[in-house]
Structure 1
Amino acid sequence: MSIERIPSNSPDPEWEQLVAGYLNTPAPEPALQSAGPAAAKQTLPADPMGDTPLVPGWARTTGGWKGRTAVGRVNSTRRFRKWVRRQRTEHGHGAQTFRGMRRTFLWIQGTEGTQITAARHEVQQTQRDYKAAKWAHDRRLVSGKEKDKRRRDMEESFDDSVSAMSRYRAAQRDARLRRLTRGAVALGPIAAAEGAGLSLLGGTGGLLAAGTTLLTFAFLGRRTSAGELYTDRDAKIGDGDRMTDEMVNRVYRSAKVIGAEEEVKLLSPCTLTADGSAWEVRLELPDGIPASKALGATAQLANGFGVSVQQISQAKGAREDWLTLRVTLKVPFTGKPNKGPLLAAGKVNLWEPQPMAVSERGDVTAVEWFEKTALFGGEPGSGKSAAANNPLLSAALDVIADLYLADGKGGFDLSPFEGIAQMIDTDGDPAKLLAILTHLWEVVLPGLKQVVKDHSVRKFSEALAAQDDRVRWTVVYIDEWASYMAAASPEQQKELERLLRLITQQGRAYAVIVIAATQKPDSNAVPTGIRDILSTRWAGRCMTPEASDTILGKGRASAGYNAQRILKSQRGVGYLQTGETSEPTLTQSYFYTDDEVEAILRRAYELRAAAGVLPVAVEPGVTILDHLIKAAAGTGQGNVTRAEAFAYLATVDDDFVQGANETDGAYATRAGTEIKTRLDAMGIDVPVATMQRGTQRPRGWRLDDLIAANDRDR
């Protein structure tokens, strides 16, 4: 019974656990499963020969046997119909038997007929020569000498005719002897078998002997006149057939990947995966055929195998001519989405690869985020927000990660992060996004750079983080950049693009992760100069191949990585291209419901509260002086300029956010007046000093003066 007919969503938990232990690669442990005492004692039996049982226990029940019987009837009907279709061709058993009989007769006849024909032709020629010589001799009016000469010619012709006749009869006798010998060799066993069958079993034995004879003739005639063996040209995986070497070569020829006389070399046998979900084979392409040609023929290959495009997966090997072909028995990723591992995770270490998705083989796809940036794209409903939630939730569970979030849609996707985000905009306000980017560029990034200078290192590392508490991850997430740009003034647009490009380019070495999500990341949605340096790409379902190429890179769709082919039923499915892989991989991202997101973020809040790293905005009883002290301490230079202080204060107080039509000078004047008003209300006087920032000498506040004023106030 073929394994592909057994339902993969078996209700038998023992079967699921057993199959999980024999997958080609170790399967990840379920995040939400809790093992009881009985489960803890249960161990999988050893299977040193790899003979994994392919029939679960439920199939041996009454219902299981009925199901298997029904499958057997269907397969038998299919085999019979294919046999009937075969009989109409030159590969039919009747045609094979006739060819076998004809070839046997020709073998018995042999090549002696040519020798007999040649001898007969010689006899005929000598007889004609003799008749001509005799006619010339019988002429009356010929002199005596000429008469004698013609008589001698006639006698020689007669002798030649007699000799030729002798050779002709000898050739006939030799041919009869040889044919009788070969006939005895060929037909003797048939006669012996027929006689033995009749004598031992009567008529039944005769029929069996005759059937055996016909089978022998059919075996001898299995090759056509052109030398071709029978191959089921209608065999397709979509019809329940097994993948074979002949099928693979036939499909690649019909898809025009290889020539009519070429063959692909199979580096591994065509095997069914341990879980019975797909056929796999590793192959080597002929010389001169790049892997990109096969990758671009996915639709043609799907037609040849009788499956949908979504069921064909090809991956390049270590060499340009190596491919791994995988044909799933059903459309992948159409079931329930995978539960993410963060549900059972305590703390998260962003220095380690973070699981984001599951591949078609069931392997966990993890991404290293240091020195990485990301772009998530896809049409509405493709699941890009759910996919982007994976790195955001991982960062939330790492207490040394600061989150700066902005939602251009003005929706509620980022609202659960408000309690732990350093800065967040859920209104789609360009002014607030400008405040976030200004704070990152003027306050956060200089402080991170100062850490590197203090330790005389080139970039951040986990070891450096263990030595200095100032080493922190900075996660910048912007959803729908195009919405911000559409609502911003021309001056704001230029400043937003400038700041985002600078942060993206310079922040990689300082653990700054910039993540952008958009429906169609063209030059209007994400500036080209920024999009090109976003290393990690995730392409969900797209409307056109061009939109897919916009996310993954030019030419990816024609090379087989076309996100347009993702079905609407495949939620959360997308091509993931990371900095570690040169080719995109079709994956399904982990999915977290709203309740699960809130549960994870509650745990993140508790972890950050215990570590004392909650954002200033959510700490009770914090005054304007406390904000200035934190802003000055954050620069790492013992002071803070007014611009740096304003950018920091904009993260915690809307009064310090620059208006859409407000000039920089007017904004600085208003913000400075607001700070002085609040300090005066507290009865605190902090002197304004001149700072040194490169070649400029802006005005601001010294950390020592702020601390002294705070001590006097207390």
Structure 2
Amino acid sequence: MLFERNFLIGGQPGSGKSYAARTLLTIAMLDPTVELKVAEFKGVGDFLDVAPLCSTYVVGVDDEAFETGSSIIAWALAECERRGKRILDAKKRGEAPRGKVTPELAAKPGSGLHPVFILLDEVHELFAAEPDAAAACERAIKRGRALGIIFCLATQIPDKDSLPPNITRCITTRWCLSVLGQVENDMILGTGAYKRGFTGTVYRPGVDAGWGVMVGVDKPGSARSFFPTPEVTAAIVRRAGQLRGKTVVGEDVERVQARDMLADARAVLQPGESGLPWAVLAERLAAQWPEMYAEITADMVRESLARYGVDSQDVKPKGSRSNVKGARRTALDAAQRRREIEAE
């Protein structure tokens, strides 16, 4: 169910998003080959009992929690780069004819291709605090599906301010719990879902918590979260621990430092340059920090820097007679000054 999929869970407060996410997490943790990374930005410890099974676990809404959440995404993006090379080698050996991670490859000792399940609960909190994390998450989701890296994002209404549209477009398996209206419903399930009869508006928060509509599966329709008793929950976690033994999958993986795109964009500007076209800026970022910006596009850079208030403006490339759209040095510097003022 989880392999080669990413998941978006959305709904209003009280609709049961965390339990829905936990249902998917339960599937992952009962497979002893799956590495678990959990970041919960509600701050109440909904997944605290699973922490001993995780290679990375964080709970909170403070700077340290957001930094760890960003580092999880940065690690995933760098891991995509590493796994891409491993898959290429496997394909040359005839073990990956489709250029993807298979269950056989994932289970092969020492392959470095074991499944990774990344759960980001109330992810809108992270993206509001760390705009670069959203851009990195988009790239990791696009690349990770074929490489054994699974994302599960749980959020309240995923509008463009809380969850970038390009992320929702990349996720095909979506679970809409209780929502108030058609607009919110289609933000989660996709345009036209309400008119086709797929709607979470029929569910009541609290009363129908856990019920929702799931699309992107073999048979779209109503689905309910698993609500075990505390005793059963403890038994499931114990069983997962027994299956895994004393080893935490991925515990020895190197921590990857998240990057600051605004600072990096300013850094790749050369002396005397008043600005750069988006495409050139993307090329320079990828050349300077390939582990973080591999395969980044001009649109990704533009959308990421827009979250800092950097507008797309006319710039004149060196040696060109005409203007193209890009980022001006003055706009990047102004964005940095605003951030410093806000931090005081």
TM tier, smaller: 0.5 to 0.7
SS at match of 1:565: coil
1:451 aligns with 86
Match of 2:139 in 1: 502
Residues 1:548 and 2:195 aligned together: no
Alpha-carbon distance in 2 for matches of 1:697, 1:478? 25
Corresponding residue of 1:226: none
Is structure 2 residue 235 aligned with structure 1 residue 599? yes
Q: Structure 2 vs 1, CA of residues 451 and 420 (structure 1 numbering), >3 Å: closer, same or farther?
A: same
For residues 482-521 of structure 1, what are the structure 2 equivalents within 5 Å?
482-486=124-128, 488=129, 492-493=130-131, 495-521=132-158
Question: 1:507-555, CA deviations, whole angstroms, 9 ceiling, x for partnerless residues?
Answer: 0111111111112111122110001111111111111221111111122
The answer to whether the Cα contact below 8 Å between 1:420 and 1:615 also exists between their aligned partners in 2 is: no
SS of the residue 1:476 aligns to: strand
> 5 Å matches for 1:67-82?
none
Deviation of 1:384 after TM superposition, in Å, equals: 2.0
Look up the equivalent residue of 1:570 and give its one-letter code: D
Following TM superposition, by how much is the alpha carbon of 1:596 offset from its aligned partner in structure 2, in angstroms? 2.7
Q: TM-score, normalised on structure 1? A: 0.34
Partner secondary structure for residue 507 of structure 1: helix
Which of 108, 115, 132 matches 1:467? 108
Runs of 4+ in structure 1 deviating by more than 4 angstroms, as ranges, are 694-698
The Cα RMSD (Å) is: 2.7
CA deviation vs aligned residue, 1:87-135 (integer Å, no higher than 9, x gap): xxxxxxxxxxxxxxxxxxxxxxxxxxxxxxxxxxxxxxxxxxxxxxxxx
Q: Residues 594, 527 of structure 1: CA spacing in aligned structure 2 closer, same or farther, 3 A cutoff?
A: farther
Counterpart CA distance in 2 for 1:600 and 1:374 is 22
Shift of 1:468: 4.2
Q: Which residue pairs with 1:373 in the alignment?
A: 6
8 Å contact 2:36–2:55 — kept in the other structure? yes
Amino acid at match of 1:510: L
Q: How far apart are the structure 2 equivalents of 1:396 and 1:646?
A: 21
Q: Name the amino acid aligned to 2:20.
A: A
* 407 and 466 in structure 1: CA distance in 2 versus 1, 3 angstrom threshold: closer
2:40 matches 1:407:
yes
Distance 1:480 1:462 in 2: 30
> Residues 538-582 of structure 1, C-alpha deviation per residue, up to 9 Å, x if partnerless?
11111122111111112222332221122443232111112434x
Alignment correspondent of 2:216: 578
- Distance in 1 of aligned mates of 2:159 and 2:38: 21
Give the Cα separation in 2 of the matches to 1:697 and 1:540: 39
Render the CA deviation track for 1:169-228: whole Å, top value 9, x for unaligned: xxxxxxxxxxxxxxxxxxxxxxxxxxxxxxxxxxxxxxxxxxxxxxxxxxxxxxxxxxxx
Q: How many residues align?
A: 257
Q: Decide whether aligned partners of structure 1 residues 412 and 613 sit closer, same or farther in structure 2, where only a CA change above 3 A counts.
A: closer
2:172 equivalent to 1:530: no
- 1:476 maps to 118
Structure 1 residues not aligned, in runs of 5+? 1-367, 617-629, 632-644, 651-656, 665-693, 699-714
Take 1:614 and 1:518, find their aligned partners in 2: how far apart are those partners?
26
Query: TM-score w.r.t. structure 2 length?
Result: 0.68
Q: Distance in 2 between matches of 1:466 and 1:560?
A: 40
Residues 697, 375 of structure 1: alpha-carbon distance in 2 compared, 3 angstrom cutoff: closer
1:17-56 Cα distance to aligned partner (Å, 9 max, x none): xxxxxxxxxxxxxxxxxxxxxxxxxxxxxxxxxxxxxxxx
Greater RCO structure (CA 8 Å; 6+ sep) = 2
CA contact (8 A) 1:386 1:592 kept: no
| Structure 1 position 386 matched with structure 2 position 19 | yes
Q: Distance in 2 between the 1:387 and 1:542 partners? A: 15
SS for the counterpart of 2:227 is coil
Instruction: Quote the offset at 1:466 in angstroms.
Output: 4.0
Q: Secondary structure at the residue paired with 2:53?
A: coil
2 CA distance for matches of 1:410 and 1:663? 29
Distance 1:447 1:599, change over 3 A: farther
Over the matched positions of the two proteins, sequence identity in percent amounts to 27
SS in 1 for 2:237: helix
Cα distance change on mapping 1:663 and 1:603 into 2, 3 Å: farther
Contact 2:32–2:243 (8 Å) recurs in 1:
yes
Residues in 1 aligned to 2:202 and 2:171: alpha-carbon distance in whole angstroms: 24
Matched letter for residue 388 of structure 1: A
| Conservation of the 8 A alpha-carbon contact between 1:418 and 1:424 | yes
Q: How far did 1:478 drift?
A: 0.9
CA distance in 1, matches of 2:255, 2:178: 41
Q: Which one-letter code corresponds to 1:599 in the other structure?
A: A
SS in 1 for 2:153: strand
- Structure whose alpha-carbon radius of gyration is higher: 1
- Decide whether aligned partners of structure 1 residues 565 and 461 sit closer, same or farther in structure 2, where only a CA change above 3 A counts: same
Asked if the contact 2:127–2:163 (Cα under 8 Å) also holds between the matched residues in 1, the reply is no
Distance 1:563 1:449, change over 3 A: same
Gaps spanning 5+ residues in structure 2: where? 265-285, 291-344
State how far apart, in whole Å, the 1-side matches of 2:287 and 2:196 are: 51
- The 1:604/1:558 distance shift into structure 2, 3 A limit, reads same
SS in 2 for 1:411: coil
> How far did 1:413 drift?
0.8
Which structure has greater helix proportion?
1
Aligned equivalents of 1:519 and 1:696: distance in 2?
36
Inter-partner Cα distance in structure 2 for 1:380 and 1:697: 39
- Map 1:139-154 onto structure 2 (within 5 A): none
In 1, Cα distance between the equivalents of 2:288 and 2:161?
35
Question: For residues 199 and 90 of structure 2, what CA distance do their matches in structure 1 show?
Answer: 46
Distance verdict in 2 for CA 1:615–1:504, change over 3 Å? closer
